[in-house]
A = this chain, B = another copy of it.
């Protein structure tokens, strides 16, 4: 593999000129630029980016920490991130933290060791240290810690959950079960609060028996519904994500509970498959790619030394499909 030296020799100029011709073509005369371009083509030269990175002390790489790469919700966000990163000349290093803070920490160390310039975290399962702030250029998307000195891009979880519950209330339900996520997670706390806001507004008192925890997986939605069904008589169900909604739907079907006739279900996220469930899933849409793009743009701004918005809230939307109907009398 030829180096910049070879090209310089071939073109009969100095390495500095070759470098300039490639990085700042306008700082070089037309003639020499052509010579250099020719030499580059002839030698098949491709600059060693590692060397460049070392010299300029930047890596043009960002790390995306996801808690679970097999979770479709994150995939779409990553796609959005990837798009703007690429447009800005950045590569995306994928970090699956598998829900452990040790892994997350390992990925954060990549910026300490200059292998990455910044981080976008799609999980709040991060080392405690960063609670007091961090010099690492970083933005969080979807998840967050309250009172955390890191810019975030997320939705109004509380308002969105309330929106879902309001809808169920509107069409006549009053006994609404709820399959939550892990309640250590602030966004779950928010969504639960939103659920309660909805009930409170119409003076229905909240019943702890209406809740069961899941962990956002299909399986957990299934088993949470099996438990919930034992302890709480309901005509509607709100799930904190689509995957659990689908799990619950399967459980209901197995129990001979018809959706939506006997049980209305609302999900959260609007994953690709939500349109293809049977019945089609009514859900709160999160603009996943937009979230990714916004997060990436925010990080780009920080990386360019700019000041980023502390928090960006992106809008959600209730998507009414076929999994809900008014309760039987």
Contacts and interface: CB of A to CB of B under 8 A. Distances in A.
Interface of A: 1, 46-51, 53-54, 57, 59, 61, 64, 69-72, 75-76, 78-79, 82, 91-94, 96, 109-110, 112-115, 218, 222, 243, 246-247, 249-250, 253, 272-273, 275-278, 280
A272 B113 contact: no
A74 to B, nearest CB: 8
A218 B115 contact: no
Contacts of A50: 50, 53-54, 57, 59, 113-115
14 contacts: A48-B113, A50-B53, A64-B94, A69-B78, A69-B82, A71-B75, A82-B96, A93-B93, A218-B275, A218-B276, A250-B276, A253-B278, A273-B273, A278-B278
Number of copies: 2
Contacts of A253: 278
A243 B72 CA distance: 13
B91 A92 contact: no
Residue from A70, A110, A280 with most neighbouring chain B CB atoms (10 Å) = A70
Nearest to A278: B278
A94 B96 contact: no
A30 to B, nearest CB: 27
Residue from A59, A250, A278 with most neighbouring chain B CB atoms (10 Å) = A278
Given A94-B92, A249-B278, A273-B246, A109 B75 contact: no
Contacts of A92: 93-94
Given A93-B94, A278-B250, A76 B70 contact: yes
A303 B218 CA distance: 38
A321 to B, nearest CB: 11
A242 to B, nearest CB: 10
Contact of A69 (B59, B75, B246): B75
B113 A47 contact: yes
A115 B48 CA distance: 8
Contacts of A96: 79, 82
A247 B274 CA distance: 11
A289 to B, nearest CB: 9
A113 B46 contact: yes
Nearest to A60: B115
Contacts of A218: 272-273, 275-276
A280 B218 CA distance: 13
Given A250-B278, A277-B277, 9 more contacts: A48-B114, A49-B110, A50-B54, A51-B114, A64-B94, A69-B78, A70-B76, A243-B273, A250-B276
B91 A49 contact: no
A171 B76 CA distance: 39
Residue from A1, A49, A247 with most neighbouring chain B CB atoms (10 Å) = A49
Contacts of A64: 94
Given A50-B54, A82-B94, A94-B78, A277 B278 contact: yes
